[in-house]
Amino acid sequence: MMTVRLGISGIGQQGGAYAGFISEGKVKNMVIGAICDIDPEKKAMCAEKYPDVPFFDNYIDMLESGKVDAVVTTVPHYLHPEMGIEALKRDIHALVEKPAGVYTKQVKELNVFAATKPDVTFGIFFNQRTNPLYQKLKELIDSDEIGKIRRTNWIITTWWRPQGYYDSSAWRATWEGEGGGVLVNQAPHQIDLLQWICGMPKKVYSNVKYGYQRNIAVEDEVTTLLDYGNGATGVFITATHDVLGTDRLEILGDKGKIIVDDSKKITIKRLNTPESEMSASMSMQDVMKIFMGGDVSDVYSEEVLEFESVWGAQHIAVLENFAANIVDGTPLIAPGSDGIHGVALANAIHLSSWLGKEVELPIDEELYLAELNKKIEEEKSLVNQ
């Protein structure tokens, strides 16, 4: 059985964690092939910690070294598409970090190129897709357990970050360095899960607060109304200033409701009769009977599923799944081409707030890029003042 030699491009917090998992033998069929970073301090650190692993200060050299079969792009978001393309070009399997990129135009280039390399594995690091809770949730929705979706509502404000986090690097929380705030750095997981499980909305209206509770240029709070185009609506809320963060996802369907609390508990309420049939057949007197002390078990049954989440297990699962796809063709949980959906949604949320109006998906990607570049220019002129 083949062992995948992974090149880790960027050995910061994420890259360092992955190196740890792999070197501790926690990832089946995977070893560290090489490490690459532009920071000399990282080179010194790796020389001590991973003395037997080849180190490069240029990722192209690493890709061409013959030391790696695959690469993971733990580098700033803007670089993910470029590195993905350069790897695939050399038939090196690519696992891009989330988000797939900052703007859809660059992610589309990556996807188009990847499509020309169907035999090279192309994955994206959506580790939360490996969370058994969200796999179960997707299964419940896909198998029509609560019927056609009418509403989604996710408050995900467990992404608390103090000012010190933003001040830790000059590129953090800047338009030029990250291309956004909570939408591109913390919430891409939930944005992906929401579209993966409930589908992409057709229209988006957002109220986005830039530098609201933090001294940053980018967004630290997002409130978005989603319109799925088929009558269904949704709300997506995220923020980095709620230290007592809420994580509550509610999905209402014609045949029931699912509530996910803290990404740990799924409560499924299944109606005995679809709501539309209840509406058609019941009188207000019947309704009063049920709700004024009647027996609600006549109406629905409830099931509660609890999940344990172990930190790191999801990341290991993504690496293993990626290796398995290379080794024996096991289907990818998060194919790389899926990365564009979350970027498209995040871009739409930004653009709606910039234009002050509802936007339709897919958005005008040239307009988005022009607006983003304006932000970058404004930011530069502020820094240079």
* Under rule CB under 8 A, residue 172 binds a copy of itself: no
* Under rule CB under 8 A, residue 15 binds a copy of itself: no
Query: In the set 225, 305, 317, 327, which binds a copy of itself (CB under 8 A)?
Result: 225
Crossing angle (nearest 10°) for helices 13-23 and 313-328: 70
Query: In the set 235, 305, 313, 376, which binds a copy of itself (CB under 8 A)?
Result: 235
* Under rule CB under 8 A, residue 160 binds a copy of itself: yes
Strand order in the sheet with 233-239: 300-306, 265-271, 256-261, 247-253, 149-156, 233-239, 219-227, 203-210, 359-360
Q: Which of the 8 DSSP states describes residue 190?
A: H
Calpha distance 276→292 (Å, rounded): 21
Query: In the set 58, 61, 279, 380, which binds a copy of itself (CB under 8 A)?
Result: 279
* Under rule CB under 8 A, residue 271 binds a copy of itself: yes
Identity of the residue, 298 or 364, whose beta carbon is nearer to a copy of itself in the bound complex = 298
Query: Minimum Å distance from CB 318 to a copy of itself?
Result: 20
| Distances 181 to 237, 285, 350 between C-alpha atoms, Å | 14, 51, 10
Distance from CA of residue 137 to its chain's centroid?
Answer: 16
- Count of residues near a copy of itself by CB under 8 A: 59
* Under rule CB under 8 A, residue 17 binds a copy of itself: no
* Under rule CB under 8 A, residue 230 binds a copy of itself: no
Query: In the set 237, 249, 251, 359, which binds a copy of itself (CB under 8 A)?
Result: 237
Q: Of 47-55, 66-74, 207-215, 343-351, which segment contacts a copy of itself by CB under 8 A?
A: 207-215
Identity of the residue, 176 or 275, whose beta carbon is nearer to a copy of itself in the bound complex = 275
Q: Of 14-22, 30-38, 61-69, 237-245, which segment contacts a copy of itself by CB under 8 A?
A: 237-245
* Under rule CB under 8 A, residue 242 binds a copy of itself: yes
Q: Which are the contacts of 20, defined by CB distance < 8 A and separation ≥ 6?
A: none
Q: Output the CA torsion sign for 197, 199, 205, 210.
A: positive
Query: In the set 17, 31, 45, 278, which binds a copy of itself (CB under 8 A)?
Result: 278
* Under rule CB under 8 A, residue 153 binds a copy of itself: yes
Cα–Cα nearest to 88, from 62, 37, 125, 122: 122
Cβ(50)–Cβ(84) below 8 Å: no
Cα–Cα nearest to 22, from 326, 333, 322, 327: 322
Cβ(94)–Cβ(120) below 8 Å: yes
Q: Of 25-33, 218-226, 335-343, 367-375, which segment contacts a copy of itself by CB under 8 A?
A: 218-226
* Under rule CB under 8 A, residue 113 binds a copy of itself: no
Cβ(298)–Cβ(290) below 8 Å: yes
Restricting to residues 311-350, which ones interact with a copy of itself according to CB under 8 A?
A: 311
Nearest 10 degrees: Cα torsion 310, 311, 315, 321: -10
* Under rule CB under 8 A, residue 29 binds a copy of itself: no
3-state secondary structure string across 20-39: HHHHCCCCCCEEEEEEECCC
The H-or-E segment that residue 369 falls in is helix 365-383
Cβ(276)–Cβ(254) below 8 Å: yes
* Under rule CB under 8 A, residue 97 binds a copy of itself: no
Query: In the set 250, 262, 360, 371, which binds a copy of itself (CB under 8 A)?
Result: 250
Identity of the residue, 69 or 221, whose beta carbon is nearer to a copy of itself in the bound complex = 221
The b-or-e profile of 333-348 (16+ CB within 10 A means b, else e) is bbbbbbbbbbbbbbbb
Identity of the residue, 29 or 246, whose beta carbon is nearer to a copy of itself in the bound complex = 246
* Residues at the contact surface with a copy of itself, assessed by CB under 8 A: 150-151, 153, 155, 157, 160-165, 168, 205, 207, 209, 212-214, 221, 223, 225, 227, 231, 233, 235, 237, 239, 241-244, 246, 248, 250, 252, 256-257, 259, 269, 271, 275-276, 278-284, 286-287, 291-292, 299-300, 311, 356-358
